[in-house]
Chain A
Amino acid sequence: MARKADKARAAFWPGLIALAAATGYLIALLAVEKQTFIISLLFGGIAVVVVAAWLGLFDDVSRAFSDHEDVLGGCVILAALAVAAFFHENHFALLLIITILLYSVATLGLNVQFGYAGVLNFAGASFFGIGAYTSAVLNSHTALPHLLVLLIGGLLAALIGSLLLLPVLRTRGHYAAVVTIAFALLFKTFIEVNDVLGGPQGMQVKGMNILGWSFNDNVKIGGISFSFYMNYFVVSLLLLIAAFILVRRLERSWIGLNLDALRLDETAASCFGLNLARWKITAFLIGNFLIGLAGAMFGMVGGFVGPNNYTFADSLILVSILLLGGIGNPWGLIIATIIVVVLPEKLQTIQEYRFLLYALMVIAVLLFRPQGLVPRPVRHYFPGWRP
């Protein structure tokens, strides 16, 4: 049943149009303040999505992204810059955008562990917190360059994660589950009783400072003033781009294949040479590194860390993003991150209920659409490549 149409490269335009529409929508959603407008925007958005899905338009979009990922990826970066430019003086909107960028990095890390290797990690927020506390401690007590601090945050999260995981590598998945859940619960209590780390009140984090350029001062370039958050935005965007490329290449390589094999059938995978422990640890380390890195950055952005931000419930939010977006698909991840981060901020009424709502949403997804919003397509090692 070889379809000749598959031989030709898919059209580029559906991807570009969808991207432009999505960008405009996001700007509108972030800009609007009145609750009634926001709700109507949301309903409008849902209606458009449902109709588009029904018309099969999403297939065209995903094919466009599949074949022209490099170019469309560049367009996405431009879109992100456009959104930031629109809100160049708006502290709140920029902070939200930065949160989206950094949470995306963290969930990309979680995706490597969960989505590719199938290693359960219910302590994502704790490792994020490890990164954040690393920033707090190192910025206050040492003069280490802040970019190095980011790396150390990632490495520390990776190291502690491996200590946690090593004992349960040879066991079934639910062992990793209980170990990470226990860690997630204990991490918060551990931080709280430790006055060295600020105890329940938390710690201040000194803002980022690269080569003398302080990130916490508003910037003025050629008459246009920018919120100081623009500094952080640029670095966060770079981090996301790097993380995205890393994770993409990881997936589209023999290593990505190993992780999939290991997730789908451990017994068969080891019969074909896979050292399960080695690859599980590799995935877990890489994933945790990204999570810690994002956390370290986030600590500096927010200027403050406290045990209440890194609870088990927060870890479950990260897992929800993964499941909503479509396990294994980085694009779906980013879309889901936007939804999960933006909605409670814009709909203030649902803030309190967000854990409940997201849990319900995930249950619905698992029952009715387990592949998530954007299912993961078959591996194409080089987009657009034809034999």
Chain B
Amino acid sequence: MDVGLVAQYVMNGLMLGMMYALVAVGFTLFFGVLDIIKFSHGDVLTVGAFTALVTFAGLNALGLKSQWVDLGTMLVVATLAMALLGMAIARYLVMPLRSAPALNTLLITLMLGTVLRESVRLFYPQGANPKPFPALLPRSSIDLGSFNLRLDNALMLAAGVLVIVGLQFLLNRTKLGLAIRAVAQDEETARTMGINFSAVVLITFAIGSGLAAFAGVMNGLYYNEINFGIGLYLGVIGFSAAIIGGLGSIYGAILGGFLFAGLQTIGTVLLPFASAYKDVFAFAVVIAIMAWRPTGLIREKISERV
């Protein structure tokens, strides 16, 4: 067994796992705070990636071609724009449906996802085709034996870790995080304790959507291209990852994300003849896990009072 090859697989798995984890964390945040499934999350990722692309084009038009400035600006713009979009979604689509059956929120966000996806496909020039994403990270690599460690991948991995650690810090060490966790536990009590419920919800959506934007840019940098359907695909994976990790648990979402990536990698190794089968394999295992442990590997929060 070639160590270099194994290392390559591991690196791929880690990159994918990081992206899935970022998406899964978003799902789990929304579910934790509002008990809802926001199906448009993946498509927000797509819009975020395309926003970054548009920003890049804009920067180019202005003649700014510095790698790091471009990347930084793209990230900032995409993240802020998606945060705003997330807040708008919460304010205008999700909050009004609070008293309706949960199914309605699921449906409305599913439809919103379609609107976002189709809008990109229809209104972005040649939207139906994959678009090249600029390679803005250093292209050098280090040779470790037979394994070629690309610097850009390492940087993205590190950035992803930082973001997740930052999120954990936010949730566990700040007042805002405390408010979010309080609302996630028990909305009524949190309100009586003086926490501004709407504000917390909006901010949580903003954070989750910002994460999606970050994941979208990361996705673009990794594959050097994006397409309008990428969010749907990542969304389904991220959602499954959040479920098997246990909806409502951040650690569970991260675990689920890496688990799914691991399953895909195993699937690629076991079934090399068609890449579609790796997904079938991964989802089959996920469904089996769902059947075995319906509340997730780490527990889904119980939200119903009988």
Contacts and interface: CB of A to CB of B under 8 A. Distances in A.
Touching chains A and B, CB distance < 8 Å = yes
Interface of A: 118, 120, 122, 164, 166-168, 170-175, 177-179, 181-182, 185-186, 189-190, 192-193, 267, 312-313, 316, 319-320, 323, 352-353, 355-356, 359-360, 362-363, 366-367, 370
Given A174-B37, A174-B106, A363-B93, A356 B232 contact: no
Given A186-B279, A189-B276, A359-B115, A173 B122 contact: no
A368 B231 CA distance: 28
A181 B290 contact: no
B119 interface: yes
Given A168-B290, A367-B93, A118 B103 contact: yes
A356 B290 contact: no
Given A168-B291, A193-B274, A352-B122, A177 B106 contact: yes
Contacts of B274: 193
B118 A362 contact: no
Nearest to A317: B114
A313 B114 contact: yes
A323 B107 contact: yes
Nearest to A363: B111
Chain B residues touching A, range = 35 or more
A363 to B, nearest CB: 5
Interface in B80-106: 93, 96-97, 100, 102-104, 106
B243 interface: yes
Contacts of B243: 174-175, 178
Nearest to A183: B283
B124 interface: no
B276 A178 contact: no
B132 interface: no
Contact of A359 (B93, B118, B232): B118
B280 interface: yes
A97 to B, nearest CB: 27
A278 to B, nearest CB: 17
A127 B231 CA distance: 24
Given A353-B122, A359-B114, 11 more contacts: A168-B291, A170-B294, A178-B236, A179-B290, A189-B276, A189-B279, A190-B280, A192-B276, A363-B93, A366-B108, A367-B108
B13 to A, nearest CB: 20
A182 B283 contact: yes
B104 A190 contact: no
Contact of B103 (A166, A173, A178, A359): A173
- Listed residue (A172, A190, A192, A352) with the most chain B CB atoms within 10 angstroms of its CB: A172
B112 interface: yes
B169 interface: no
A316 B290 CA distance: 24
A177 B236 CA distance: 10
- Listed residue (B106, B107, B110, B118) with the most chain A CB atoms within 10 angstroms of its CB: B107
B1 interface: no
Contact of B107 (A193, A267, A362): A362
Interface string B262-285: 000000000000101101100100
Contacts of B119: 356
Given A174-B106, A178-B243, A356 B112 contact: no
Nearest to A266: B304
Contacts of A166: 291
B287 interface: yes
A356 B111 contact: no
B115 A319 contact: no
B306 interface: yes
A171 B290 contact: yes
13 contacts: A167-B287, A179-B287, A186-B283, A189-B279, A190-B276, A193-B274, A319-B110, A355-B118, A356-B122, A362-B108, A363-B111, A363-B112, A367-B97
